[in-house]
């Protein structure tokens, strides 16, 4: 398994409960084929440029271990979710 880091930029207009629901959804998805090391909500920050008419967004940092083929499934789920404005997944060096 490889170590990964993911930054998710979430719509700032969702509720705290919806953020918790996203956390449990993606933690469960990652834990099917890997292990979540941390899920850190970094709060609302100003964006460098407007994304889908939003000037602010909620940033979430996720560190996890997973198999390479499960990362593609995670990206697919990120793209489908309307609350996620942008995301990036980066493989960390061991």
CATH number of 2-91: 3.30.70.60
pTM confidence score:
0.87
| Span 69-86, pLDDT tens digits | 889 999 999 999 999 999
pLDDT tens track for 59-68: 999 999 998 8
The residues near 47 (Cβ < 8 Å, ≥ 6 apart) are 9, 54, 55, 56, 57
Confidence (pLDDT) at 50: 92
93: pLDDT confidence band, cut at 50, 70 and 90?
confident
Comparing C-alpha atoms, which of 7, 2, 76 is closest to residue 34?
A: 2
Q: What pLDDT does residue 33 have?
A: 85
Which neighbouring-strand residues pair with 25? none
Nearest-angstrom CA–CA distance, 47 and 7: 14
Q: What is the pLDDT of residues 3-49, one digit of tens each?
A: 999 999 999 999 989 999 998 999 999 998 889 999 899 999 999 99
* Residue 94: per-residue pLDDT: 63
């Amino acid at each position: 398994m490889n170590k990964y880091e993911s930054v998710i930029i979430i719509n700032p207009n969702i509720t705290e409960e919806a953020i918790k629901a996203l956390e449990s959804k993606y933690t469960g998805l990652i834990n099917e084929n890997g292990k979540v090391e941390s899920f850190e909500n970094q709060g609302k920050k100003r964006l460098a440029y407007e994304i889908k008419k939003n000037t602010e967004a909620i940033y979430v940092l996720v560190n996890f271990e997973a198999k390479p083929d499960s990362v593609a499934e995670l990206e697919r789920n990120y793209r489908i979710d309307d609350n996620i404005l942008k995301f990036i997944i980066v493989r960390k060096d061991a």
